[in-house]
Amino acid sequence: MKQIVVAITGASGSIYGLRLVEELLKSQCRVALLLTRSGLEVLRYETGLEWEGSTSARKQLMRDYFGGSHRLDHYDADDLFAPVASGSSAPDAMVVVPCSMGTAGRIAAGIGSNLVERAADVALKERRELILVPRESPFNPIHLENLLKLSRAGAHILPAMPGFYHRPKTIDDLVDFVVGKILDSLQIKHSLFQRWGEG
Protein backbone atom coordinates (compact mmCIF):
# COMPACT_ATOMS: atom_id res chain seq x y z
CA MET A 1 0.00 0.00 0.00
CA LYS A 2 1.54 3.32 -1.09
CA GLN A 3 1.81 6.02 1.57
CA ILE A 4 1.35 9.51 0.19
CA VAL A 5 1.41 12.89 1.93
CA VAL A 6 -0.87 15.47 0.32
CA ALA A 7 -0.43 19.09 1.39
CA ILE A 8 -2.91 21.82 0.53
CA THR A 9 -1.43 25.30 0.86
CA GLY A 10 -2.90 28.78 0.47
CA ALA A 11 -2.68 29.01 -3.32
CA SER A 12 -5.88 29.07 -5.30
CA GLY A 13 -7.11 25.64 -6.39
CA SER A 14 -7.71 23.63 -3.21
CA ILE A 15 -10.13 21.58 -5.34
CA TYR A 16 -7.09 19.93 -6.98
CA GLY A 17 -5.93 18.66 -3.58
CA LEU A 18 -9.38 17.36 -2.65
CA ARG A 19 -9.79 15.54 -5.94
CA LEU A 20 -6.31 14.01 -5.64
CA VAL A 21 -7.04 12.65 -2.15
CA GLU A 22 -10.29 11.15 -3.44
CA GLU A 23 -8.45 9.31 -6.23
CA LEU A 24 -5.59 8.15 -4.01
CA LEU A 25 -8.02 6.65 -1.49
CA LYS A 26 -9.87 4.97 -4.37
CA SER A 27 -6.54 3.46 -5.41
CA GLN A 28 -6.09 2.00 -1.91
CA CYS A 29 -3.28 4.40 -0.91
CA ARG A 30 -2.78 5.53 2.65
CA VAL A 31 -2.96 9.34 2.70
CA ALA A 32 -1.78 11.89 5.25
CA LEU A 33 -3.54 15.17 4.50
CA LEU A 34 -1.87 18.38 5.71
CA LEU A 35 -3.13 21.93 5.34
CA THR A 36 -1.32 25.13 6.11
CA ARG A 37 -3.29 27.83 7.94
CA SER A 38 -3.73 29.72 4.68
CA GLY A 39 -4.60 26.44 2.99
CA LEU A 40 -7.53 26.02 5.39
CA GLU A 41 -8.67 29.61 4.79
CA VAL A 42 -8.52 29.42 1.01
CA LEU A 43 -10.23 26.01 1.10
CA ARG A 44 -13.10 27.55 3.06
CA TYR A 45 -13.30 30.53 0.72
CA GLU A 46 -13.21 28.48 -2.48
CA THR A 47 -15.24 25.41 -1.50
CA GLY A 48 -17.25 26.38 1.60
CA LEU A 49 -15.66 23.51 3.58
CA GLU A 50 -15.13 24.49 7.21
CA TRP A 51 -12.53 22.10 8.61
CA GLU A 52 -12.18 23.71 12.02
CA GLY A 53 -11.79 22.64 15.64
CA SER A 54 -9.20 20.37 17.24
CA THR A 55 -6.91 18.22 15.08
CA SER A 56 -9.01 15.13 15.80
CA ALA A 57 -12.26 16.99 15.04
CA ARG A 58 -10.77 18.15 11.74
CA LYS A 59 -9.59 14.63 10.96
CA GLN A 60 -13.14 13.36 11.49
CA LEU A 61 -14.58 16.08 9.21
CA MET A 62 -12.07 15.09 6.54
CA ARG A 63 -12.85 11.39 6.89
CA ASP A 64 -16.56 12.17 6.63
CA TYR A 65 -15.94 14.23 3.50
CA PHE A 66 -13.95 11.39 1.90
CA GLY A 67 -16.53 8.71 2.73
CA GLY A 68 -15.21 7.58 6.12
CA SER A 69 -11.91 6.10 4.95
CA HIS A 70 -9.61 4.98 7.75
CA ARG A 71 -6.70 5.16 5.31
CA LEU A 72 -6.87 8.95 5.70
CA ASP A 73 -4.74 10.61 8.40
CA HIS A 74 -4.41 14.25 9.25
CA TYR A 75 -1.81 16.16 11.23
CA ASP A 76 -1.80 19.76 12.30
CA ALA A 77 0.49 22.06 10.32
CA ASP A 78 2.29 22.99 13.55
CA ASP A 79 2.79 19.37 14.65
CA LEU A 80 6.48 18.82 14.08
CA PHE A 81 6.20 15.60 16.12
CA ALA A 82 4.02 13.96 13.43
CA PRO A 83 5.50 10.82 11.80
CA VAL A 84 5.87 12.55 8.41
CA ALA A 85 8.27 15.06 10.02
CA SER A 86 10.88 12.33 10.38
CA GLY A 87 13.08 10.72 7.76
CA SER A 88 12.64 7.39 9.56
CA SER A 89 9.00 7.23 8.49
CA ALA A 90 9.16 9.09 5.20
CA PRO A 91 6.22 8.34 2.89
CA ASP A 92 6.59 6.96 -0.64
CA ALA A 93 5.76 10.36 -2.08
CA MET A 94 4.54 13.82 -1.20
CA VAL A 95 2.40 16.15 -3.31
CA VAL A 96 1.95 19.83 -2.48
CA VAL A 97 -1.22 20.77 -4.33
CA PRO A 98 -1.88 23.61 -4.81
CA CYS A 99 1.56 24.94 -3.87
CA SER A 100 1.74 28.63 -2.96
CA MET A 101 4.76 30.69 -3.87
CA GLY A 102 5.33 31.23 -0.16
CA THR A 103 5.57 27.49 0.56
CA ALA A 104 7.66 26.92 -2.58
CA GLY A 105 10.08 29.63 -1.44
CA ARG A 106 10.35 28.25 2.07
CA ILE A 107 10.92 24.68 0.83
CA ALA A 108 13.56 26.01 -1.59
CA ALA A 109 15.27 27.78 1.32
CA GLY A 110 15.12 24.65 3.52
CA ILE A 111 13.27 26.53 6.25
CA GLY A 112 11.01 23.74 7.58
CA SER A 113 9.01 26.03 9.85
CA ASN A 114 5.76 24.06 9.60
CA LEU A 115 4.87 20.40 8.95
CA VAL A 116 4.32 20.93 5.21
CA GLU A 117 7.74 22.51 4.74
CA ARG A 118 9.43 19.95 7.01
CA ALA A 119 7.78 16.95 5.30
CA ALA A 120 8.86 18.31 1.90
CA ASP A 121 12.38 18.78 3.24
CA VAL A 122 12.33 15.16 4.44
CA ALA A 123 11.08 13.94 1.05
CA LEU A 124 13.99 15.70 -0.66
CA LYS A 125 16.65 14.51 1.78
CA GLU A 126 15.36 10.93 1.72
CA ARG A 127 15.13 11.04 -2.09
CA ARG A 128 11.39 10.34 -2.11
CA GLU A 129 9.20 11.72 -4.84
CA LEU A 130 8.16 15.32 -4.18
CA ILE A 131 5.63 16.79 -6.59
CA LEU A 132 4.89 20.51 -6.37
CA VAL A 133 1.84 21.89 -8.16
CA PRO A 134 2.44 25.67 -8.23
CA ARG A 135 -0.40 28.09 -8.91
CA GLU A 136 0.38 31.71 -9.50
CA SER A 137 0.14 34.00 -12.50
CA PRO A 138 2.22 35.73 -13.63
CA PHE A 139 5.40 34.35 -12.03
CA ASN A 140 8.05 36.83 -10.93
CA PRO A 141 11.77 35.99 -11.21
CA ILE A 142 11.89 34.97 -7.54
CA HIS A 143 9.14 32.39 -8.11
CA LEU A 144 10.91 31.08 -11.21
CA GLU A 145 14.29 30.86 -9.48
CA ASN A 146 12.77 29.02 -6.52
CA LEU A 147 10.99 26.55 -8.79
CA LEU A 148 14.20 25.92 -10.75
CA LYS A 149 16.13 25.42 -7.52
CA LEU A 150 13.51 22.92 -6.33
CA SER A 151 13.58 21.09 -9.64
CA ARG A 152 17.37 20.82 -9.43
CA ALA A 153 17.03 19.48 -5.88
CA GLY A 154 14.87 16.64 -7.20
CA ALA A 155 11.30 17.93 -6.94
CA HIS A 156 8.91 17.48 -9.84
CA ILE A 157 7.34 20.78 -10.82
CA LEU A 158 3.92 20.00 -12.22
CA PRO A 159 2.07 23.29 -12.66
CA ALA A 160 -1.70 23.55 -12.47
CA MET A 161 -1.92 24.10 -16.24
CA PRO A 162 -4.69 22.03 -17.76
CA GLY A 163 -4.47 21.17 -21.45
CA PHE A 164 -7.39 21.65 -23.81
CA TYR A 165 -6.70 18.97 -26.41
CA HIS A 166 -9.01 16.54 -24.59
CA ARG A 167 -11.84 19.06 -25.17
CA PRO A 168 -12.92 19.69 -21.58
CA LYS A 169 -16.59 20.55 -21.06
CA THR A 170 -16.66 21.24 -17.33
CA ILE A 171 -14.48 22.53 -14.51
CA ASP A 172 -14.25 18.93 -13.30
CA ASP A 173 -12.68 17.95 -16.64
CA LEU A 174 -10.03 20.66 -16.17
CA VAL A 175 -9.34 19.61 -12.58
CA ASP A 176 -9.16 15.94 -13.57
CA PHE A 177 -6.58 16.72 -16.24
CA VAL A 178 -4.18 18.15 -13.65
CA VAL A 179 -4.95 15.43 -11.09
CA GLY A 180 -4.44 12.78 -13.79
CA LYS A 181 -0.99 14.22 -14.50
CA ILE A 182 -0.13 13.96 -10.80
CA LEU A 183 -1.31 10.32 -10.72
CA ASP A 184 0.80 9.60 -13.83
CA SER A 185 3.83 10.97 -11.97
CA LEU A 186 3.00 8.75 -9.00
CA GLN A 187 2.59 5.79 -11.40
CA ILE A 188 -0.96 5.22 -10.23
CA LYS A 189 -3.38 4.01 -12.88
CA HIS A 190 -6.40 6.20 -13.62
CA SER A 191 -8.89 7.07 -16.30
CA LEU A 192 -9.36 10.75 -15.51
CA PHE A 193 -8.70 11.89 -19.04
CA GLN A 194 -8.47 10.40 -22.47
CA ARG A 195 -4.87 10.06 -23.59
CA TRP A 196 -3.60 11.53 -26.81
CA GLY A 197 -4.22 9.03 -29.59
CA GLU A 198 -6.89 7.12 -27.64
CA GLY A 199 -10.53 6.98 -28.61
Ligand X SMILES: Cc1cc2nc3c(=O)[nH]c(=O)nc-3n(C[C@H](O)[C@H](O)[C@H](O)COP(=O)(O)O)c2cc1C
| Contact status, residue 181 vs residue 133, Cβ threshold 8 Å | no
Q: Is 165 annotated as a binding residue?
A: yes
Residue 102: CB minimum distance to ligand X, A: 4
Three-state SS at 6: strand
Residue 64: count of CB within 10 angstroms of its CB = 10
Q: Which is nearer to ligand X, 38 or 60 (CB)?
A: 38
Q: Which is nearer to ligand X, 8 or 29 (CB)?
A: 8
Longest dimension (CA), the chain: 49
Q: Which is nearer to ligand X, 101 or 186 (CB)?
A: 101
Cα–Cα distance, 132 to 117 (Å, whole number) = 12
Residue 109: CB minimum distance to ligand X, A: 13
The CB-nearest residue to ligand X is: 10
DSSP code for 134? E
Q: Is 161 annotated as a binding residue?
A: no
- Sites of contact with ligand X (CB under 6 A): 9-12, 36, 38-39, 42, 45, 100-103, 135-136
Q: Which is nearer to ligand X, 122 or 188 (CB)?
A: 122
Q: Where are the alpha helices (DSSP H) in 50-194?
A: 55-65, 101-108, 115-125, 141-152, 171-185
Residue 36: CB minimum distance to ligand X, A: 3
Residue 108: CB minimum distance to ligand X, A: 12
| Contact status, residue 134 vs residue 98, Cβ threshold 8 Å | yes
Q: Is 36 annotated as a binding residue?
A: yes
User: Nearest 5°: CA angle at 138, between 137 and 143?
Assistant: 95
DSSP sequence for 42-108: HHHHHH-----SSHHHHHHHHHHHTTS-TTEEE--TT-TTSGGGSGGG--SEEEEEEE-HHHHHHHH
Q: Which is nearer to ligand X, 56 or 140 (CB)?
A: 140
Residue 30: CB minimum distance to ligand X, A: 24
Q: Is 135 annotated as a binding residue?
A: yes
Q: Is 119 annotated as a binding residue?
A: no
Q: Is 170 annotated as a binding residue?
A: no
Q: Is 10 annotated as a binding residue?
A: yes
Binding residues: 10-12, 36, 100-103, 135, 165, 181
Binding residues for dimethylallyl phosphate: 165, 181
